[in-house]
A and B are shown apart, each in its own frame.
Chain A
Amino acid sequence: MPGSSQKQYHAKQNRRNFITGLLFLSPTLVIFSMFILFPVFFSFYLSFHKWNMFSSSHAFVGLANYQRLLTDPEFWMVLKQTVMYTLGTVPLNMIIALFLAIALNKQIKGKRFLRTAFFTPVIISPVAAALIWRWIYDPNFGLLNYATGIFGIPPVNWLNDSRAAMIALILMGVWKTLGVNMILFSAGLQGIPDTYYEAAEIDGAGRWSKFWNITVPMLTPTTFFIMIMSMISSFQVFDIVYVLTSGGPMGSTKVMVFYIYEYAFKFFEMGYASAVAYLFFAMLAVLTLLQVKYMRSRSGYEAL
Chain B
Amino acid sequence: MCLKLDKIRYTKVAQSLAHPKTAHKRFKFCVYLMMILLLFGCSKSKTENPDAITITFWHSFVASTIPALNDLIEQFETEYPDIKINAQYVPTGDALIQKLITAIQSRTAPDISWIHSDFLADLVDADAIYEMAHFINGENGLADDEIKDIYPALLQYASLRKKLYSIPMEATNLALIYNKDLMRKAGLNPENPPRNWDELREYAVTLSDDFNNDGKFDQIGFFVPIFPASGPLSGWMMWQWIPYLWQAGGYIVNEEQTEVLYNSEAGVQALTLWKEIYDKLNLKTFTADYDVAFASKRVAMSMDGPWNLPRFNTMLKNLDWAFAPLPAGPAKQATVVGGEYLVIFKQSPNPDAAWTFIKWIIRPDVQARWAMKSGYLPVRKSVSKVPEFVEYLNEHPNFKVFVDQMDVAQVQRPLDNYGLQITRHIAEAIEAATLGGMEPREALNRSAEKSNQLLRSLNTNSDN
Interface residues of chain A, those whose CB is within 8 Å of chain B, are 16-17, 20, 23, 52-56, 138-140, 155, 157, 160, 162, 245-251, 254, 258, 262, 265-268
Contacts and interface: CB of A to CB of B under 8 A. Distances in A.
A169 B228 CA distance: 15
Contact of A249 (B20, B122, B431): B431
B432 A250 contact: yes
Q: What's the dominant secondary structure at chain A's contact region?
A: loop
Interface in B241-292: 284-287
A246 B101 contact: no
B186 to A, nearest CB: 22
Nearest to B126: A54
Given A247-B228, A247-B231, A249-B435, 8 more contacts: A55-B126, A55-B127, A246-B228, A246-B230, A248-B228, A250-B432, A254-B230, A258-B230
Contacts of A155: 285
A267 B451 CA distance: 14
A159 to B, nearest CB: 9
B104 interface: yes
Given A16-B20, A250-B432, A265 B126 contact: no
Contact of A248 (B17, B105, B123, B229): B229
Nearest to B216: A140
A132 to B, nearest CB: 16
B94 A20 contact: no
Contacts of B123: 54
Contacts of A268: 122, 420
Nearest to A50: B461
Nearest to B102: A53
A246 B226 CA distance: 13
A139 B231 CA distance: 19
Nearest to B287: A140
10 closest A-B pairs by beta carbon, nearest first, are A248-B228, A246-B231, A54-B126, A247-B230, A55-B126, A139-B285, A246-B228, A53-B101, A250-B436, A54-B122
Interface string B422-461: 0010001001100110000000000000000000000000
A54 B228 contact: no
Contacts of A160: 284-285, 435
Nearest to A138: B287
B230 A251 contact: yes
Nearest to B443: A250
Nearest to B218: A140
A158 to B, nearest CB: 11
B52 interface: no
B230 A262 contact: yes
B140 interface: no
B428 A140 contact: no
A73 to B, nearest CB: 10
B431 A248 contact: yes
24 contacts: A17-B18, A53-B101, A53-B122, A54-B126, A56-B126, A138-B287, A139-B285, A140-B285, A140-B287, A157-B284, A160-B284, A160-B435, A246-B232, A247-B230, A248-B227, A248-B228, A249-B228, A249-B435, A249-B436, A250-B432, A265-B98, A266-B420, A267-B420, A268-B420
Nearest to B232: A246
Contacts of B421: 267
A249 B438 CA distance: 13
Contacts of A250: 229, 428, 431-432, 435-436
Interface in B110-132: 122-123, 125-128
Nearest to A59: B461
With a 10 A CB-CB cut-off, give which of B105, B230, B287 has the most chain A CB atoms.
B230
Contacts of B229: 248, 250-251
Nearest to B23: A20
A239 to B, nearest CB: 14
B89 interface: no
Nearest to A16: B20
Interface string B309-322: 00000000000000
Contacts of A254: 230
Contacts of A17: 18
Contacts of B284: 157, 160
B27 interface: yes
A138 B436 CA distance: 18
B27 A23 contact: yes
A139 B424 CA distance: 26
A157 B230 CA distance: 19
Given A247-B230, A248-B229, A162 B122 contact: no
A53 B122 CA distance: 9
A33 B229 CA distance: 36
A160 B228 CA distance: 9
Contacts of A258: 230
Interface string B13-37: 0000110100100010000000000
